[in-house]
Amino acid sequence: MYTVIPTLIGLAVALLVDSKVRGEALFKGAIFTPWAISPVVVGFIWTQMYNPSSGLVNGALRAVGLPQLAHPWLADASLVLPAINMAASWVRTGFAMVIFLAALRGIPAELIEAARIDGAGLWQGLWHIVLPLLRPAFTVVIGTSLMLSVGAFDEVWVMTKGGPGFSSYLLSVYLYISTFQTHQAGLGAAIGVVMFLLSSVGGFIYVRHMIRGEASY
């Protein structure tokens, strides 16, 4: 969820912005601004938004006539991780949008025009021309998201501290508690090594693709 959702939404937003939507600068600024906000502040913002009684999320559901969908999002073990990931996606979407938009603006317009002349429709052009040429951008976005997902801590700690129970007890939370609260430095170091190995997967994907070279037109 941490990787797929921001990637897909960022791609969709980038395609929309690249189609010369009105108010492009304002739109890009609104989407990218969360990326510049401190993760701790993001955690506080979404904690208030998920407040069961006065939060924006439940308030919006009640306002549109769906009170049955209102939940104590951060207190429900089955919903807490999707709720946290939604907050993370709000932040990471801006980064994905910028990378994809830069890649889209780098695709020669002649390729798209030639495909249209040959009879390719919108979806055919997107699937057979645009997406293959966005492969380097996908590598950057997915590789970065994989590395960040392993070390995700700030939002989780502010919003739930690993709860309820152990339902959001990520490796990063486990490392912090083991090292600084229960003073098990050896266990914390072992968790850190595991996190490093897991985050190396994203780094390996990124470096391997960059070594193979950029997309050619």
Q: For 153-177, give the DSSP string.
A: -HHHHHHTTT-STTTT--HHHHHHI
pLDDT at 111: 82
What pLDDT score does 217 carry?
46
pTM above the 0.75 mark? yes
Beta strands in 35-190 (DSSP E): none
Domains of the chain from N-terminus onward: 4-212 (1.10.3720.10)
Q: 14-49 as b/e, with b when 16 or more CB fall inside 10 Å?
A: bbebbeeeeeeeeebeebbebbeeebeebbebbbeb
pLDDT score of 186 = 95
Distance CA(136)–CA(193), nearest Å, equals 28
Report residue 133 CA to chain centroid gap.
21
CB 160: neighbour CB atoms within 10 A? 24
* 217 residues of the chain, pLDDT tens digit each: 888 999 999 999 999 888 877 778 888 888 999 999 999 999 999 999 999 999 999 999 999 999 999 999 999 999 999 999 999 999 999 999 999 999 998 888 888 788 778 777 778 888 888 898 898 899 889 888 888 888 899 999 999 999 999 999 999 999 999 999 999 999 999 999 999 998 888 778 777 776 765 544 4
Say how far apart CA 153 and CA 216 lie, in whole Å: 38
Residue 168 to residue 117: CA distance in whole angstroms: 52
Residue 59's pLDDT is 95
